[in-house]
Structure 1
Amino acid sequence: MRKAQKAQVSRQTWPTDVRRWGGPKVREASVASSCTLLGDENDEIIETDLIDLTSDQSDDGNHQILLEGEVAVSHLEVQNESIHIGDCIQVADTMLGKYKVNFVLVKAILRNNRGQKVARGTAFARTRCMHGKLPKKLNELCMILHFSGPSLRAQETPAFIDIPPHSIDGKRALIMTNALYPLHNPKQSTFLGFGDQATRMIAIEEHGTLVCRWKLELHLLSTGRESKVCEEVFSRLLPQEISERMYGADETEIRKAWRGETLRGGSWSPHHRRQSAVQSHTGENQRCRGQQYTLFDSFSCAGGVSRGASLAGFRVQYAVDKSPDVWETYQSNFPGCSLHRGSVDDFFRTVGTRQTKVDVLHLSPPCQPFSPAHTHAAAHDDENMFALMSCFSLLRITRPRIVTLEQTFGISHERHGEYLRTLINDFTSLGFSLRWKIVRLATWGSAQDRKRLVLVASAPGERLPPFPDPSHSDDDSQGLKPFNTIAKVLSQVVVGDDHHDLRGVRHHDPPKAPYPADRLSGTITTSPSGLYFPDGTRDLTVREYAALQGFPKHHTFFGTRTSILRQIGNAFPPNTVRHLYKHIESWLIEQDGMTAYRPRDDEVVDVEIERPRHIQEQRRQSRNDFTPRYEQATAVIGADTIDLDVEMIETTIIDLT
């Protein structure tokens, strides 16, 4: 048997003239279903050589397929077959990173600098070779695209792979489609003369038409000679990536099949108007007054995601959490939300097969089993594992357009790989496109130096949004805001704030060692014993912990101090959620072809709000009290304002005409 070869890769733009061998141009594909065929391929990891062509451009700025010194040739003769540009070839013993390459769509045939003839093109793998991340379907493929560069913004063109003649096993027919499985998949009736079913399956495997509905994007950040995957994307092919009309599918109809009718601009409206688009007085498709996208917050805890999403403009419609400790806290902050007080399993039994449809679903299943700090088995590990596996059922019940998920970055470690792969398969088996990466939350506004795995998914028929750009950085070189620091956050907490009981916290005499607070905090945990006030004189108050976690002042908590600290530590920081969800809201509005609601002149009301004079004086005095003690710890006074404390005032305009 031939030894698996190292795949040589070059970078180039998306193939624009993809052709089906032996027929017309090709088209794109979609989702998956059930039925496992043939065995899994053996996985092997071989380094991939990347050839950077970003500097090789034509006069019109397009990247060239050939490197300097390479010569294009008309065709390649292999096993009495002529290989041309546009052919799909079957290849043997070829790896691209950790994925086995089964097929290549030829984009160039050339003689390289060593005088060797090679076929250069885009790599494809059978879905059963995708490490369990895609449903395993007979003759279903996934395109593999590598992007590499010093930053994600610079990654515009994917890599090509070079195949020598001795690794080519002939040509195959390939269909590209965005239709859902099993449309266009080869029918067994085509091979009725091939004996029993097992023999027919082998015949289809070896000779049947191939179908590609998926692509995997691997985004690598390169620093010197090292490259590391920083973001992964599984997505269904898009209509514009399909060149043959007969293999295209209407994405609107695909979405309708998934969730029924969709109200553009948001499913919730105070006026309960159900038209798909609202014609504004300016002639544009404008959202209704008060119209919002709806959210289901699963594993909601004290409402970190719900708070961030509501600050971003979402209507928090449903939530579920099993912990009695958080129920009063959550319901008091979101009285209009339908909170299921019980486990997700209880919720499934309650709703049965009834759909609870929302625009966006958030998933925050318990992360303790996958945390890097979790080094031995615990009593609730099995229960927490079930919570992760329940995501599939939540998707089916809520039928969302967009899904967000956050988890400890430890789930991406190899020892937990099977759980992450199963989670990804839960999405792709329903036709969801998704992307995930480890996010340094400080770049989204958190005052903590904390990393989380964040996943964003889009339902069948929906476009997959990118991740939002960073809003903060540790320098001003990119024109971003500076990191929110301990100093900035604590300077916003003043005497009189809820849960800011200075007498009730432990004071240290003698004081602990002061520390500079013009920096990020460590991760706020459920029992944050190591963090204290910068001057070393006392522990932090509950409100200060909540502020460092990103909660605004008007978010209230109920329970003992221990219970509240656990509620705070388990939360996904609301100010980072706000950054993510503001981006998602803008994306949905754009995809819906809508514009934000703009009130008419006769609807505008000037509202003037003034705090009572004694409250103003109390807050001013508390800031004065804070400053001299804080200067003992650091020369930097966090006098800057912070987006963290956004007090939202909802004004209801009543038309009495």
Structure 2
Amino acid sequence: MSATHPYVLDDDSDRPTSNEESEFDLIDYDSNDDEPEVISHHHCASSTSSAPNLVRASSLQPSEVVIGSYRLGKGLVIRPESTVELHGHLTHEADIRHSGDFLRVKYIVMNLETDEVRLCGHRMRRVKYLGQLFDWQLNELAIVLRIKEQDERAPLVAGLEDVNIDEVYRIRECMLTNKPYPFLSFRASGRLAIPVGMSQEEIKLQIFHAGRLTCRVINIQYVNQHGKSYSGIVRYLYAKEADKLSNLDQLMQVGASRKTAISIGVEDDDCVIVTKDCSTSRNRKHRRRAGSSGLATPRSKARFSSKRDQLTYGDVYCGVGGASQGALQAGYSVAWGLDKDDRAIEAYKLNHHSAYSFKMDAHDFPPQGISKKAWRVDVLHLSPPCCYWSPAHTQPGPNDQANYEALYTVGPILKKVKPRVATLEQTSGLLTNREHKRNFFMLLNDIGQAGYDLRYKVQDLSEFGLVQQRKRLLIIAARRGMPLPPFPKPTHGPPGNSLKGLITIADALLPLRHPGYEATTDPYNQPRFFTSPRTPYSVNSYLKGCITTGGTTAYHPSGMRPFTARELSLLQSFPRTYQFTGSKSEATKQVGNAFPPIMAEALYRSIAKTLKTYDQDLIGAENVEELFNNDEEIINLLSDDDEEIEILSD
């Protein structure tokens, strides 16, 4: 006996169950139904096109056509925007919660010579199969795209995949939404026939295999020529990417803001009310934006003065202030820095005397006795200690536990400060070391739970004018409703391209030859000579090795001595006049811990350009990629060198 019952679940989590593998029954795809309807017969655009109607990266074959639908049999018809479940690489049983991937179909392609059919669309995967990147909720999916690094097309175009029709297991109901969980989840999808007396686990299993699926997030990975991914985007779907709500769905969501009562069922005696706490709906500032191009067409000229409306900036784990110095050079107003190291925060005060200097543990944020106005900023930077995550960390250290825990202050601080944009800088080992991959995903999850979309990248800082080949993990996070700024494009490179040349040791140390500089009066530029000279090398070469808290294994090109603390600071791109505190070894530690200002400056200029174009109504929150990839000349109008810029309509 079966009856239509509400979804009565104490727990929506979808933790992985048994890994037992076996075959499950497949739908019979054989059918004698009518031939599919041919709706078009054309070649696909070239791979360099960014048109939204691309079928795939390569062109259609002469014998291929795009068709409007394909009948599987038993009344099942696949159409564009259908969602199909695919056979997994694992075998399955119907009594355990495992499944293959899914495909949101965009196009159906048939070969007229062979009658072979393939589906073109976006791959989706249950979030529980993506590690700790998202919370594991029942029937929640994520779009997963793997895109070549050099592919400059829009991700949803470049990420289209082909799937042979034989890989389809069944059709599923799936809703794409930009609303937070649990909106439009299986709980809001209406009725499901559930036999009386089912246990909680049996109900979950029924929902797993027959309930509505919901996709609200996207995970984009950019893959290099070796198939490795060191950059990506993790975000909620944009409104333009979400499905339009039906009248029923809209009705089900009415009033679902603080505490939602969801009743699914028709008989009064069967109806059980399930309550779910939801965050209150936020008042959103509505903006009038242009269409897909994202460019406004104002009736009059929009003006922006670079001398007003400075972006405010805060720096957590600031050290001596390398990131703050970069923000200052990019035109920001540095509001405050926070660090628990005595010497570091003392040096921070000397260099950023107009900013608050909070000497405290980040776990204790916010500071007591300071109004929210003082620490609420537009852009927030966080650089938790990286020693534990570094590839060079091969032996246990006394601060390992503290450094481990520091990474997880990021989410709570973001929730308190609520910056428009946040940046993070970490050792590349957090991403590249398999041992730390789980922690990397947990960090991204914390940022997402705080209400932010993000992009990440392992960046070689020499591409931005640093003398050393220093690879760091960079993250840009934008509060949902704000545009997600792109990473800046490299400014330096090897000979043979249009970029500036790579910086040499001679270039970096040039400020020491300034006529007004007196080395003898600088306590951090007093050389200590080797007892046995080493092999000299060219001053016009690049710095080998990496600057750490202990200095560097490289020595001065003369071969006569190590680099001084002042020289190391210049190699890290600090200004010659930057002040440090404590002994020479303490100053060296401060330099080694710093985020190089030259990279920070490039990063914050890109963020400032994005926020300024957004504030000027030139782009919407969802149009950043289109503007920066295809209309970069518009961005260039916002030159930092102009006192007043006029944005003209077409």
8 Å Cα contact 1:321-1:340 kept in structure 2:
yes
Separation in 1 of the partners of 2:20 and 2:484? 29
Separation in 2 of the partners of 1:187 and 1:128? 18
Q: Would the alpha carbon gap of residues 165 and 538 (structure 1) be closer, same or farther in structure 2, given more than 3 Å must change?
A: closer
What are the Cα deviations for residues 470-491 of structure 1, in whole angstroms up to 9, with x where unaligned?
01111241x2111111010112
| Structure 1 equivalent of residue 411 of structure 2 | 392
Task: Tell me, yes or no, if structure 1 residue 76 matches structure 2 residue 70.
Answer: yes
| Structure 1 equivalent of residue 60 of structure 2 | 67
8 Å Cα contact 1:353-1:397 kept in structure 2:
no
| Structure 2 equivalent of residue 617 of structure 1 | none
Q: Would the alpha carbon gap of residues 498 and 178 (structure 1) be closer, same or farther in structure 2, given more than 3 Å must change?
A: farther
User: Partner of 1:190: helix, strand, or coil?
Assistant: coil
8 Å Cα contact 1:58-1:64 kept in structure 2:
no
Listed as ranges, the matches of 1:339-488 within 5 Å are 339-347=357-365, 350=368, 356-412=375-431, 413-477=433-497, 479-488=498-507
User: Partner of 2:331: helix, strand, or coil?
Assistant: coil
Separation in 2 of the partners of 1:329 and 1:432? 32
Q: Would the alpha carbon gap of residues 189 and 64 (structure 1) be closer, same or farther in structure 2, given more than 3 Å must change?
A: closer
What are the Cα deviations for residues 584-619 of structure 1, in whole angstroms up to 9, with x where unaligned?
111111111179xxxxxxxxxxxxxxxxxxxxxxxx
| Structure 1 equivalent of residue 14 of structure 2 | 37
Unpaired runs of at least 5, structure 1: 1-33, 45-52, 265-281, 596-647, 649-657
| Structure 1 equivalent of residue 81 of structure 2 | 86
User: Partner of 1:554: helix, strand, or coil?
Assistant: coil
| Structure 2 equivalent of residue 20 of structure 1 | none
| Structure 1 equivalent of residue 585 of structure 2 | 562
8 Å Cα contact 1:135-1:429 kept in structure 2:
no
8 Å Cα contact 1:122-1:143 kept in structure 2:
yes
Task: Tell me, yes or no, if structure 1 residue 305 matches structure 2 residue 323.
Answer: yes
| Structure 2 equivalent of residue 220 of structure 1 | 223
8 Å Cα contact 1:78-1:168 kept in structure 2:
no
Separation in 1 of the partners of 2:520 and 2:179? 54
Query: How far apart are 1:345 and its partner, in Å?
Result: 1.9
Listed as ranges, the matches of 1:604-615 within 5 Å are none
| Structure 1 equivalent of residue 102 of structure 2 | 103
Q: Would the alpha carbon gap of residues 526 and 424 (structure 1) be closer, same or farther in structure 2, given more than 3 Å must change?
A: same
**Root-mean-square deviation (Å):** 3.8
What are the Cα deviations for residues 386-435 of structure 1, in whole angstroms up to 9, with x where unaligned?
10011111111111111111111111111111110110111122332111
Q: Say which of 517, 520, 523 aligns to 2:539.
A: 517
Which one is further off, 77-86 or 450-459?
77-86
Q: Say which of 601, 605, 609 aligns to 1:586.
A: 609
Counterpart residue identity of residue 209, structure 2: E
Separation in 1 of the partners of 2:541 and 2:603? 23
Listed as ranges, the matches of 1:260-339 within 5 Å are 284=302, 286=304, 289-339=307-357
Separation in 1 of the partners of 2:54 and 2:411? 41
Q: Would the alpha carbon gap of residues 431 and 139 (structure 1) be closer, same or farther in structure 2, given more than 3 Å must change?
A: farther
| Structure 1 equivalent of residue 120 of structure 2 | 120
Listed as ranges, the matches of 1:10-49 within 5 Å are 36-39=13-16
8 Å Cα contact 2:189-2:212 kept in structure 1:
no
What are the Cα deviations for residues 140-179 of structure 1, in whole angstroms up to 9, with x where unaligned?
2211222226x25477632433434443232222222222
8 Å Cα contact 2:423-2:475 kept in structure 1:
yes
| Structure 2 equivalent of residue 550 of structure 1 | 573
Q: Say which of 496, 504, 529 aligns to 2:518.
A: 496
Q: TM-score, normalised by structure 2?
A: 0.73
Q: TM-score, normalised by structure 1?
A: 0.72
8 Å Cα contact 2:216-2:236 kept in structure 1:
yes
| Structure 2 equivalent of residue 603 of structure 1 | none
Q: Would the alpha carbon gap of residues 261 and 289 (structure 1) be closer, same or farther in structure 2, given more than 3 Å must change?
A: farther
Q: Would the alpha carbon gap of residues 464 and 88 (structure 1) be closer, same or farther in structure 2, given more than 3 Å must change?
A: same
What are the Cα deviations for residues 613-651 of structure 1, in whole angstroms up to 9, with x where unaligned?
xxxxxxxxxxxxxxxxxxxxxxxxxxxxxxxxxxx9xxx
What is the aligned-residue identity percentage?
A: 28
Listed as ranges, the matches of 1:171-190 within 5 Å are 171-187=171-187, 190=190
Separation in 1 of the partners of 2:609 and 2:459? 20
Query: How far apart are 1:288 and its partner, in Å?
Result: 8.1
Counterpart residue identity of residue 455, structure 1: I
Q: Would the alpha carbon gap of residues 329 and 152 (structure 1) be closer, same or farther in structure 2, given more than 3 Å must change?
A: farther
Matched pairs, number: 527
Unpaired runs of at least 5, structure 2: 1-10, 22-43, 91-97, 258-278, 288-299, 619-639, 641-650
Counterpart residue identity of residue 109, structure 2: L
| Structure 2 equivalent of residue 141 of structure 1 | 141
Separation in 2 of the partners of 1:450 and 1:547? 15
8 Å Cα contact 1:79-1:170 kept in structure 2:
no
Query: How far apart are 1:215 and its partner, in Å?
Result: 1.3
Separation in 1 of the partners of 2:310 and 2:280? 23
Which one is further off, 369-378 or 563-572?
369-378
8 Å Cα contact 2:525-2:566 kept in structure 1:
no
8 Å Cα contact 1:308-1:574 kept in structure 2:
yes
Counterpart residue identity of residue 121, structure 2: G
Q: Would the alpha carbon gap of residues 499 and 380 (structure 1) be closer, same or farther in structure 2, given more than 3 Å must change?
A: farther
Q: Would the alpha carbon gap of residues 588 and 204 (structure 1) be closer, same or farther in structure 2, given more than 3 Å must change?
A: same
What are the Cα deviations for residues 50-78 of structure 1, in whole angstroms up to 9, with x where unaligned?
xxx87468999964446325533554333
Query: How far apart are 1:348 and its partner, in Å?
Result: 5.0
8 Å Cα contact 2:55-2:107 kept in structure 1:
no
| Structure 2 equivalent of residue 49 of structure 1 | none
Q: Would the alpha carbon gap of residues 300 and 114 (structure 1) be closer, same or farther in structure 2, given more than 3 Å must change?
A: farther
User: Partner of 2:101: helix, strand, or coil?
Assistant: strand
Query: How far apart are 1:126 and its partner, in Å?
Result: 1.6
Counterpart residue identity of residue 345, structure 2: W
| Structure 2 equivalent of residue 507 of structure 1 | 529
Counterpart residue identity of residue 545, structure 1: L
8 Å Cα contact 2:525-2:564 kept in structure 1:
no
Q: Would the alpha carbon gap of residues 329 and 54 (structure 1) be closer, same or farther in structure 2, given more than 3 Å must change?
A: farther
